[in-house]
Amino acid sequence: MNTILLIGKTGQVGFELERALAPLGRLVAPDRTELDLTSADSIRQAVKSIQPDMIVNAGGFTIVDAAESDSELAMQLNGVAPGILAECAAETDALLIHYSTTFVFDGTKNTPYTEEDIPNPVNAYGRSKLAGERAVMAAGGKSLILRASWVYSDRRTNFVLAMLKLARAKSELKIVDDQIGAPTWARDYADATAELLANPTRLREAPGIYHLSAQSYCSRLQWAQRVIEGAKKSSGIATGWAELLPTTTALYPHPAPRPLYTATDNRKIELAFGMTMPAWDERVDAFIPTLSWR
Ligand SMILES: NC(=O)c1ccc[n+]([C@@H]2O[C@H](COP(=O)([O-])OP(=O)(O)OC[C@H]3O[C@@H](n4cnc5c(N)ncnc54)[C@H](OP(=O)(O)O)[C@@H]3O)[C@@H](O)[C@H]2O)c1
């Protein structure tokens, strides 16, 4: 039976992974007191004692704006720790799945990014994630880096939960219409990861970087519109929702600059492993009724 080490079980993707990976083997999911990504010793000791056949790293620093002021911690968690994990994995020939982000790109393209496109992050979060990708690749083991995009779930903070809250609290909401991406339910990342790990032999034959997002893409305004339409239906509450209005990123500055376009071309993972993801809008429709506020 394979032993799987899951890091980040309290996060959006990690929480879903704990459920999805459980049937695949002996799942060990330490919290940050048991495996602290800021400490090389803690990482090495945990891996040594657990002796995993597979490591899934869903831990990291994910608050994009906070990474500007806390860039050292972001770099430690996202840039340095993945390299140490990859070294540990390479030493014991364990398979590593590591999540990265489409925020490694500068967003100046207007067609979906492929794995061949050159990263050029525009903020500290993207720079830290790119450093992590490079450290994982440099370790030379059997690692898959899955570049994820706009993740949402029913926990922590994310765009969908923020929209639902704000849309009830305000009469008008201005949402940027010039940031394009593929909203992806954390549950779908977890299920896709489990599907991939069900065939570890195949994964070992084709390590590397893969784009993995929901099919198709939209603007943040279109995403918010879909969320609120779904919430109206699901809750049965037709009134008292904010009117959603378009704005631009230039008029709505954040501490961290955002890449405008981060849609991904997912053909590489489809060709390599037959992996396809559902469409973003269908999954938003499926997600909303799962919320307990209904
Ligand atoms: N969120 C997005 O929109 C998005 C988009 C693209 C890619 N990704 C990538 O997908 C992965 C998962 O993202 P997510 O949104 O699920 O993350 P998340 O919800 O922010 O969860 C982060 C996880 O990392 C853990 N963690 C933080 N500091 C730690 C430390 N020092 N030692 C050990 N664990 C620590 C957290 O534990 P605590 O509960 O103890 O804090 C939590 O379990 C990340 O690699 C992220 O970069 C995310």
Residue 151 CB–ligand 1 contact under 6 Å:
yes
pLDDT of 160 > 90? The answer is: yes
Residue 39 CB–ligand 1 contact under 6 Å:
no
181-220 pLDDT tens trace? 999 999 999 999 999 999 999 999 999 999 999 999 999 9
Largest Cα separation within the chain, whole Å, is 59
CA 34 to chain centre: 23
- What integer pLDDT is reported at residue 174 of this predicted model? 97
Single pTM value for the model = 0.97
Confidence of residue 293 (pLDDT cuts 50, 70, 90): low
Task: Give the closest residue (by CA) to ligand 1 atom 48.
Answer: 151
What are the respective helix, strand and coil percentages of the chain, to the nearest 5? 45, 20, 35
Residue 58 CB–ligand 1 contact under 6 Å:
yes
- Give me the amino acid identity at 30: P
138-147 pLDDT tens trace? 999 999 999 9
Radius of gyration of the chain (CA): 19
Confidence of residue 8 (pLDDT cuts 50, 70, 90): very high
Q: Ligand 1 mean position to 237 CA, how many Å? A: 33
Pull the structure tokens for residue 183: 């909203």
Confidence of residue 113 (pLDDT cuts 50, 70, 90): very high
Q: Are 144 and 97 in contact (CB under 8 A)?
A: yes
pLDDT of 292 > 80? The answer is: no
Which of helix, strand or coil describes residue 60? coil
Q: Are 104 and 131 in contact (CB under 8 A)?
A: no
Give percent of the chain above pLDDT 70.
99
Ligand 1 atom nearest the C-alpha of 13 is: 16
168-181 pLDDT tens trace? 999 999 999 999 99
pLDDT of 6 > 80? The answer is: yes
Confidence of residue 294 (pLDDT cuts 50, 70, 90): very low
Pull the structure tokens for residue 75: 């770099």
- What integer pLDDT is reported at residue 118 of this predicted model? 98
Q: Ligand 1 mean position to 99 CA, how many Å? A: 9
Q: Give mean pLDDT, residues 9-18.
A: 98
Q: Ligand 1 mean position to 273 CA, how many Å? A: 25
Q: Ligand 1 mean position to 59 CA, how many Å? A: 4
Residue 79 CB–ligand 1 contact under 6 Å:
no
Residue 74 CB–ligand 1 contact under 6 Å:
no
Q: Are 158 and 165 in contact (CB under 8 A)?
A: no
Q: Ligand 1 mean position to 278 CA, how many Å? A: 23
Q: Chain-wide mean pLDDT for the chain?
A: 97
Residue 82 CB–ligand 1 contact under 6 Å:
no
- What integer pLDDT is reported at residue 253 of this predicted model? 85
Ligand 1 atom nearest the C-alpha of 103 is: 6
Ligand 1 atom nearest the C-alpha of 150 is: 3
Q: Which residues are catalytic?
A: 125
247-272 pLDDT tens trace? 999 998 899 999 999 999 999 999 99
